């Protein structure tokens, strides 16, 4: 997935903010204690902004706008109320136009209640603010401003946290201010430590103390002598505990380690890799989610890992837990095979995931891990499964969410019959590892070892893979190791307000390339390397998957290219080395596993990776769409040999999840020539057959996007309602239209796909290395040569009939695939007429004949003849061009029934006639007076012989 979407960027801004309080260096207010119903001046200093996107705002003298909201609770959404008209982040919001103060400082004046439209009687507790450019490409982080009641107010300036940890014996600065002059009294654990009278501020320094783990309470009370009003504030700090130093037990790896049960009880050892962190508490069902010295985890001597042993666990019972790192960062286990999600689990139907454990309300944050000793291991029933040879692979890419109506692994398993009948031999699942939310393409991963519960339990996924293998179908996972979303523990654990911290062992602070959407892995980091290897090994061994399609593989680089897309695609030796290392590690675990890259880089680089053994996505969507809608596309590059690859390593496709749908494009943008309109559904589906023929017959692995075999004709930008089309709906759920299979025309397309796939996967000629492509012109040809015979494909991509030399590879006997007819080619350069969209597949060895009527194009009799014509054999049309009626005269030695069939340029049958021929000559009129002007084709069938002639209607 190589597209950056504004909706995703906004999601990050709002849900993963770097909150700034009212004394933030970025924004200040006048007055210092703003209220809901009085004017406040907001003053921003952009030099203090932390978000890297704010750099583009520096130096501006205009085109800076406020994007903001108001919240009615202290802990709720700060953007709950928004000003009227603030809807499109990519456009200027004129009421929020900022005034420049010079030196990258900006201000705006507003009355919160009226500006945000908050109803009278509803309190305003805070404002959510950011500054952005008019087009939304540059912005600050989110900033939170407190709004006060119109009374005596107290504000804590330092420390900002309510409950935090400090080093032993450290000095703690405390600062307060009030809206009126007051008397301040500061206490520590109930003992007075500072008093100030007749002032609007207090400043004091506290000594934290030396006792590890001691939680201390600070209370500030302020009284305004003039009115007698009082205000108070309390915060807590804890002296950092000192974990015990102990070696990691032998055999324990990062994550959850189950050990032998003892007397009916389970045991687990948990290990967390967290270098540069000071201490970790374990919280969970076993201690009611409270901090306890008994659950302070041991630290290894090198300071990199924390571990703890959990004995006496109930076998089979799910136990929720999380790590509290440095007392402030709650994370789930990065290696957990199941997590619970506070925000999203309640929306998963019980029919999809029965008996899902409720999220523990006392847990911190949004995610917790699950451990379960004594689980019953899943037993795979299919043994001896043989993966398809690469040059016979037909991959079916699907998204569970949009392929089965109830979005479940179980229903997906039930759909294998359909896919087996289609004939594909590999399924590529779009990402199924736990992602943010329940409704997604899956390219926002947060846990790499847990299948997303939105599709069902992990054993349901294993059953699907096992069942697919039982049907002879391989399963490849779309793996997203180029980026991770915020809830991924190793993003949260090393975080710097708006991006990963500089000391992150896994992530770059800023992506090295221009297509990053979330947070970018550093694949030269030893820790990232180890994590990638562990992820791949796990899925190969635990789930028996057959390999991976790696998302945005071109992004696995530390070479800085900024926003230069072309430079990013240039040959990158370091990126090649990264991929060769990953490939080698995968092949050590599984010597035949597929490694498929979504790379799209310099061909020299792709060739090197392909020749090393990897498979590369070959995107020819634009080429095929251009060819079948207007005969303008040249898809020569779908041949791996044209790319210079030593092996058939190019996974060519005309559709994937990322491209506009083929038949939708035909119906919207296809050309019309006379009465031949590509926009009509029957013609569009016939053109889709033409594209499928030239996709699937070219040697090398190929891929189909789900429902392409039925001519799915909703735009990629269709919204969830199935009718609205907007750019921001690109990744939205799409209507699941299994009913398309009941449409006779769409079913024919499905069957054409099935017949072509059958040839590709069973006939050696379609895996040959000796083949020739001629795809540059509107009439395109493919020749496959093998020991078992020669195959010849010819197709007219134009919207008009084409009179051309047939160009057969050789004279002699051939077999027409779709009719099964035996034909004799006497002259390979004989001139023939091809109808628009017509394609013909011939072979020197007879192949099994498909069901009749799948394509509307019969053998072109002017191109081939089954028997030699006698001297008398003549067919004439007069007049031609014709106004109303044409007379067909047949002179031949044939005796018997003569069939006349008239078709339009779309191949549709519009008139037929049958006459018994009992002499040398037959005359038969054909009436055309009701038909529009244009080109028609008349086929004359005499027994085994047939001939097609062009009729021009004026």
pLDDT in tens, 68-120: 999 999 888 999 999 999 999 999 999 999 999 999 999 999 999 999 999 99
Angle between helices 744-762 and 681-696 (to 10 degrees): 10
Average pLDDT score over residue span 380-409: 97
Instruction: State the average pLDDT over residues 903-930.
Output: 82
C-alpha to C-alpha distance for 208 and 218, rounded to whole angstroms: 11
Domains of the chain: 27-146 (no CATH), 154-239 (2.60.40.10), 255-348+359-371 (2.60.40.10), 392-751 (3.20.20.80), 760-843 (2.60.40.1180), 868-953 (2.60.40.1930)
Rounded mean pLDDT, 45-70: 93
pLDDT of residue 370: 98
- Please give the pLDDT value at position 918: 80
DSSP letter at 460 equals H
The closest alpha carbon to 801, from 665, 693, 903, 875, belongs to 903
Half-sphere exposure of 295 (CA within 13 A, CB side): 21
The answer to whether the CB of 368 falls within 8 A of the CB of 400 is no
- Residues 6 or more apart from 562 whose CB is under 8 A from it? 514
CA distances from 615 to 475, 598, 645 (A): 15, 9, 10
Out of 66-80, 379-393, 812-826, 881-895, least confident range: 881-895
Distance CA 390, CA 761 (A): 10
Quick count: other Cβ atoms within 10 Å of Cβ 452? 27
> Which residues does 138 contact at the CB level (< 8 Å), separation at least 6?
53, 54, 55, 56, 57, 132
pLDDT computed for residue 917 by the predictor: 85
Average pLDDT over residues 13-24: 36
Burial class (CB in 10 A: 0-12, 13-18, 19+), 765: buried
**What are 429-448's pLDDT values in tens digits?**
999 999 999 999 999 999 99
pLDDT on residue 1? 60
Q: Within 391-493, where are the H helices?
A: 400-403, 409-414, 416-422, 458-470, 489-492
Q: How many Å apart are CA 331 and CA 493, to the nearest integer?
A: 8
Calpha distance 542→256 (Å, rounded): 15
> What are the residues facing 834 on neighbouring strands?
802
Answer yes or no: is pLDDT of 13 > 50. no
Evaluate whether 859 touches 946 at the Cβ level (below 8 Å): yes
Q: Is the peptide bond before 797 cis (omega within 30 degrees of 0)?
A: no
Confidence of residue 11 (pLDDT cuts 50, 70, 90): very low
> At CA 681, angle to CA 678 and CA 685, rounded to 5?
80
CA gap 491, 503 in Å, rounded? 11
Residue that wins the pLDDT comparison between 901 and 783? 783
Q: Give the closest residue to 402 by CA, choosing from 437, 433, 440, 435.
A: 440
In the chain, the percentage of residues whose pLDDT exceeds 90 is: 81
Q: State the Cα–Cα distance between residues 683 and 697, nearest whole angstrom.
A: 21
Is the model more confident about 211 or about 707? 707
* Distance from C-alpha of 430 to C-alpha of 416, rounded to nearest angstrom: 16
Which is more confident, 884 or 334? 334
Highest mean pLDDT among 533-547, 559-573, 863-877: 533-547
**Nearest partner of 488 among 521, 522, 466, 526, judged by Cα:** 521
d(CA 893, CA 917): 10
Q: How many CA atoms lie within 13 A of 290 on its CB side?
A: 5
The 3-state DSSP class for residue 741 equals helix
Own/partner contacts of 212-217, CB < 8 Å, gap of 24 or more, are 212/168, 212/239, 212/240, 212/241, 212/242, 213/238, 213/239, 213/241, 213/293, 213/296, 214/238, 214/239, 216/188, 216/189, 217/188, 217/189, 217/190
Mean pLDDT, residues 579-589 taken together: 98
Three-state DSSP class for residue 293 = helix
C-alpha dist (Å) from residue 5 to 66, 518, 627, 731: 21, 11, 29, 9
- What confidence tier does 4 reach under pLDDT thresholds 50, 70, 90? very low
What's residue 569's pLDDT?
95
CB 395 within 8 A of CB 701: yes
Contact present, 586 and 595 (Cβ < 8 Å): yes
Q: Where are the alpha helices (DSSP H) in 732-784?
A: 744-762
Average pLDDT over residues 648-660: 98
φ/ψ of residue 81, rounded to 5: -110, 130
Long-range Cβ contact pairs of 527-530 (< 8 A, separation 24 or more) = 527/273, 529/581
**Rounded distance, CA 792 to CA 769, Å?**
15
pLDDT class of 611 with cuts at 50, 70, 90:
very high
pTM over 0.75: yes
The β-bridge partners of 925 are: 887
Q: In angstroms, rounded to a whole number, what is the distance separating the alpha carbons of residues 292 and 118?
A: 44
Nearest to 794 by CA among 742, 755, 839, 727: 839
833 three-class SS:
strand
| DSSP 3-state of 33 | coil
Largest CA distance in the chain: 127
pLDDT at res. 213: 86
Exposed/middle/buried for residue 286 (C-beta within 10 Å: 0-12, 13-18, 19+): middle
The structure tokens 């015990």 sit at 244
Residues, the chain: 954
Looking at the DSSP bridge assignments, the partners of residue 19 are: none
Q: Respond yes or no on whether the N-terminal peptide bond of residue 38 is cis (omega within 30° of 0).
A: no
For residue 735, the Cα-to-chain-centroid distance in whole angstroms is 17
**147-167 average pLDDT score:** 91
pLDDT at 262: 66
Q: Examine the pLDDT at 274 and tell me if it is beyond 80.
A: yes
User: What is the model's pLDDT at position 19?
Assistant: 31
Higher pLDDT, 214 or 642: 642
Give the separation between CA 914 and CA 675, rounded to whole angstroms: 26
The overall average pLDDT reported for the chain is 92
Question: pLDDT class for 860, splitting at 50, 70, 90?
Answer: low
What letter does residue 390 receive in the DSSP assignment?
G
How confident is the model over 665-693, as a mean pLDDT? 96
pLDDT category of residue 866 using cuts at 50, 70 and 90: very low
pLDDT tens-place string over residues 319-377? 999 999 999 999 999 999 999 999 999 999 999 999 999 999 999 999 999 999 999 99
């Amino acid at each position: 997935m190589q597209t950056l979407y504004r909706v995703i960027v906004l999601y990050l801004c709002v849900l993963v903010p770097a909150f700034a309080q009212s004394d933030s260096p970025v924004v200040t207010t006048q007055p210092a204690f703003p209220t809901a119903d009085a004017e406040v001046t907001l003053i921003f200093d952009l030099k203090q902004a932390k978000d890297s996107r704010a750099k583009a705002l520096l130096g501006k003298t205009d085109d800076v706008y406020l994007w903001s909201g108001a919240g009615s609770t202290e802990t709720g959404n700060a953007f709950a109320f928004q000003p009227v008209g603030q809807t499109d982040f990519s456009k200027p919001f004129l009421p929020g136009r900022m005034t420049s103060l010079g030196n990258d400082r900006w201000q705006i004046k507003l009355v919160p209640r009226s500006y945000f439209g908050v109803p009278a009687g509803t309190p305003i507790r805070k404002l959510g603010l950011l500054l952005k450019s008019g087009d939304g490409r540059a912005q600050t982080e989110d900033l939170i401003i407190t709004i006060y009641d119109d009374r005596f107010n107290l504000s804590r300036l330092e420390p900002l946290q309510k409950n935090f940890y400090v080093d032993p014996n450290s000095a703690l600065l405390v600062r307060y201010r009030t809206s009126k002059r007051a008397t301040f009294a500061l206490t520590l654990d109930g003992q007075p430590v500072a008093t100030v009278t007749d002032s609007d501020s207090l400043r004091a320094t506290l000594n934290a103390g030396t006792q590890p783990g001691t939680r201390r309470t600070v209370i500030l009370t302020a009284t305004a002598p003039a009115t007698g009003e009082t205000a108070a504030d309390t915060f807590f700090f804890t002296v950092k505990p000192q974990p015990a130093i102990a070696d990691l037990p032998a055999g324990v790896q990062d994550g959850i380690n189950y050990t032998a049960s003892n007397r009916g009880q389970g045991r687990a050892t948990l290990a967390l890799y967290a270098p540069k962190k000071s201490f970790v508490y374990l919280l969970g069902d076993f201690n009611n989610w409270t901090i306890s010295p008994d659950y302070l985890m041991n630290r290894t001597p090198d300071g990199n890992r924390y571990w703890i042993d959990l004995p006496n666990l109930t076998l089979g019972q799910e136990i929720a837990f999380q790590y509290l790192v440095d007392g402030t960062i709650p994370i789930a286990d990065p290696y957990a095979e199941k997590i619970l999600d506070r925000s999203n689990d309640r929306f998963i139907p019980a029919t999809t995931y029965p008996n899902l454990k409720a999220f523990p309300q006392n847990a911190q944050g949004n995610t917790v891990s699950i451990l379960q000793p004594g689980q019953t291991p899943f037993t795979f029933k299919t043994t001896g499964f043989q993966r398809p040879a690469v040059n016979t692979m037909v991959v079916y890419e699907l998204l569970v969410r949009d392929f089965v109506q109830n979005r479940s692994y179980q229903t997906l398993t039930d759909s294998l019959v359909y896919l087996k009948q289609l004939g594909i031999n590999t399924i590529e699942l779009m990402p199924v590892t736990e992602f943010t939310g329940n409704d997604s393409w899956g390219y926002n991963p947060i846990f790499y070892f847990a299948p997303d519960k939105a599709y069902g339990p992990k054993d349901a996924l294993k059953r699907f893979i096992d069942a697919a293998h039982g049907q002879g179908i391989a399963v490849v996972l779309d793996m997203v190791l180029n980026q991770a979303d915020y809830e991924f523990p190793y993003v949260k654990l090393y975080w710097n307000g708006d991006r990963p911290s500089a000391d992150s062992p896994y992530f770059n602070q800023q992506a090295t390339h221009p297509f990053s959407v979330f947070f970018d892995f550093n694949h030269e980091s030893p820790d990232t390397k180890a994590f990638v290897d562990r992820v791949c090994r796990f899925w190969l061994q635990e789930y028996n998957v057959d390999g991976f399609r790696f998302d945005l593989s071109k992004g696995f680089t530390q070479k800085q290219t900024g926003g230069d897309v072309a430079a990013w695609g240039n040959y990158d030796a370091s990126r090649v080395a990264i991929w060769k290392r990953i490939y080698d590690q995968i092949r050590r675990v599984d010597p035949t596993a597929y490694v498929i890259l979504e790379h799209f880089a310099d061909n020299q680089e792709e060739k090197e990776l392909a020749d090393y053994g990897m498979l590369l996505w070959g995107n020819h969507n634009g080429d095929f769409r251009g060819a079948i809608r207007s005969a303008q596309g040249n898809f020569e590059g779908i041949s791996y040999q044209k790319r210079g690859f030593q092996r058939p390593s190019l996974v060519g496709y005309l559709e994937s999840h990322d491209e506009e749908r083929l038949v939708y494009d035909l119906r919207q943008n296809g050309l019309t020539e006379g009465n031949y309109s590509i926009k009509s559904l029957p013609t569009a589906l016939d053109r889709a057959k033409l594209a499928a023929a030239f996709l699937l017959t070219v040697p090398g692995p190929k891929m189909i996007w789900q429902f392409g075999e039925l001519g799915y004709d909703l735009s990629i930008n269709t919204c969830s309602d199935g009718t609205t089309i907007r750019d921001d709906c690109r990744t939205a759920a799409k209507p699941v239209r299994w009913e398309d299979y009941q449409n006779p025309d769409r079913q024919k397309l499905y069957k054409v796909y099935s017949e072509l796939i059958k040839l590709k996967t069973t006939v050696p000629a379609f895996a040959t290395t000796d083949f020739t492509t001629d795809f540059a012109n509107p009439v395109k040809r493919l020749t496959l040569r093998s020991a078992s015979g020669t195959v010849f494909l010819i197709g007219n991509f134009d919207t008009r009939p084409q009179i051309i030399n047939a160009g057969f590879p050789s004279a002699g006997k051939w077999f027409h695939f779709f009719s099964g007819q035996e034909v004799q080619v006497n002259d390979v350069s004989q001139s023939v007429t091809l109808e628009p969209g017509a394609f013909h597949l011939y072979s020197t060895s007879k192949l099994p004949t498909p069901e009749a009527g799948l394509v509307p194009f019969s053998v072109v009799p002017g191109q081939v003849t089954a028997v030699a014509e006698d001297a008398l054999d003549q067919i004439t049309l007069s007049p031609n061009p014709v106004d109303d009626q044409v007379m067909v005269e047949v002179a031949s030695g044939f005796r018997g029934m003569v069939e006349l069939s008239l078709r339009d340029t779309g191949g549709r049958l519009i008139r037929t006639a049958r006459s018994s021929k009992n002499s040398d000559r037959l005359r038969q009129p054909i009436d055309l007076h009701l038909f529009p002007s244009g080109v028609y084709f008349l086929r004359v069938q005499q027994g085994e012989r047939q001939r097609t002639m062009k009729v021009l209607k004026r």
